[in-house]
């Protein structure tokens, strides 16, 4: 595709292309040829492209080249035109990999997390392109809990607790034990959803990290919290993560309890 993109152009390319994925409701991915795809939908955000370009500029982590980001005000749809990265999702490959291949992936993943950590001081707590917000979707959208302006881990967790108590008009949470979290530890830069579904592998090596929409600066335990929050059928991923990083078991468990409880109460 040419370097000049308009809404009419991208819509035409999509109509001629091949749908390769419905990521989830409100997000589609279409292959438009010439090595490019378009990710689009009402839940696609321009900050995903911004975060991808930020990581590309500051690290050697394999990410898609962004060609254009467009927004259709009439339909509230965002379009991101980007390179298609060759590879298969790691979650599909994990059960088939032998010990030697797993070790290669583990070492490359460790390098990726190391490069992410080099960005820890490049921004305040918050999402890339939207520093005063945690997540866009219910129940943590701005209209429910408002923006968060935490600068420390304890401040971040306390914001969720206080906002939930206020939103529900009842005391959902008891006072938090401030000793659970180490407020002296600085925040970290995180992909925000670095799980096997967002890791592409080609010829035995990690070929790309995709879906950077939640990237930003979060509490120090965020990477293991995200990586280990969902049980997987294949335990190899869990072993890799535990080999790669400190997993902060107590902090993860306490925060998980807070977050799940908040979702139940504010989401009702």
Smallest CA-to-CA distance from 215 within 197, 194, 201, 198 is with: 194
Phi first, then psi: what are they for 266, rounded to 5°? -75, -25
Residues in the chain with pLDDT values less than 70 = 1-3, 22-24, 130-149, 231-234, 267-268
The answer to whether the Cα torsion of 215, 59, 24, 90 is positive or negative is negative
Domains and CATH numbers, the chain: 7-83 (3.30.200.20), 88-266 (3.90.1200)
- Grouping H, G, I as helix, E, B as strand and the rest as coil, residue 228 is helix
Per residue in 184-221, pLDDT (tens digit) is 999 999 999 999 999 999 999 999 999 999 999 999 99
The answer to whether 136 touches 264, Cβ cutoff 8 Å, is no
What are the Cα distances from residue 72, in Å, to 47, 96, 140? 15, 42, 24
What dihedral do alpha carbons 246, 123, 119, 113 form, nearest 10°?
40
The answer to whether 116 touches 59, Cβ cutoff 8 Å, is yes
- Let me know the angle formed at the C-alpha of 123 by 120 and 124, rounded to the nearest 5 degrees: 105
- Grouping H, G, I as helix, E, B as strand and the rest as coil, residue 205 is strand
Q: What is the pLDDT of residue 30?
A: 97
What is the C-alpha radius of gyration for the chain, rounded to an integer number of angstroms? 19
The answer to whether 161 touches 181, Cβ cutoff 8 Å, is no
Q: What is the pLDDT of residue 259?
A: 86
Q: What is the pLDDT of residue 151?
A: 83
pTM metric for this prediction: 0.91
> How many CB atoms neighbour CB 96 within 10 A?
9
The answer to whether 177 touches 258, Cβ cutoff 8 Å, is no
């Amino acid at each position: 595709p040419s370097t000049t993109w308009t809404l009419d152009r991208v819509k035409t390319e999509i109509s001629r292309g091949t749908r390769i994925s419905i990521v989830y409701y409100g997000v589609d991915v279409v292959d438009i040829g010439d090595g490019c795809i378009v990710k689009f939908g009402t839940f696609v955000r321009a900050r995903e492209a911004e975060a991808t370009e930020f990581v590309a500029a500051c690290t050697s982590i394999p990410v898609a080249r962004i060609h254009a980001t467009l927004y259709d005000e009439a339909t509230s749809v965002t379009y991101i035109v980007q390179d298609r990265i060759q590879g298969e999702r790691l979650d599909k490959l994990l059960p088939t990999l032998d010990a030697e291949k797993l070790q290669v992936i583990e070492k490359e993943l460790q390098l990726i997390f190391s490069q992410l950590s080099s960005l820890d001081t490049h921004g305040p707590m918050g999402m890339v392109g939207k520093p005063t917000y945690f997540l866009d979707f219910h129940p943590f959208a701005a209209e429910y809990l408002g923006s968060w302006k935490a600068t420390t881990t304890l401040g971040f967790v306390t914001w969720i607790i206080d906002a939930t108590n206020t939103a529900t008009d009842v005391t959902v949470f008891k006072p938090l034990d401030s000793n659970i979290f180490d407020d002296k530890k600085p925040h970290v830069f995180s992909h925000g959803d670095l799980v096997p579904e967002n890791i592409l592998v080609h010829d035995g090596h990690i070929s790309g990290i995709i879906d950077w929409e939640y990237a930003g600066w979060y509490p120090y335990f965020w990477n293991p919290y995200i990586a280990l929050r969902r049980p997987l059928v294949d335990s190899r991923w869990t072993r890799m993560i535990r080999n790669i990083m400190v997993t902060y078991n107590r902090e993860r468990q306490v925060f998980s309890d807070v977050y799940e409880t908040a979702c139940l109460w504010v989401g009702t």
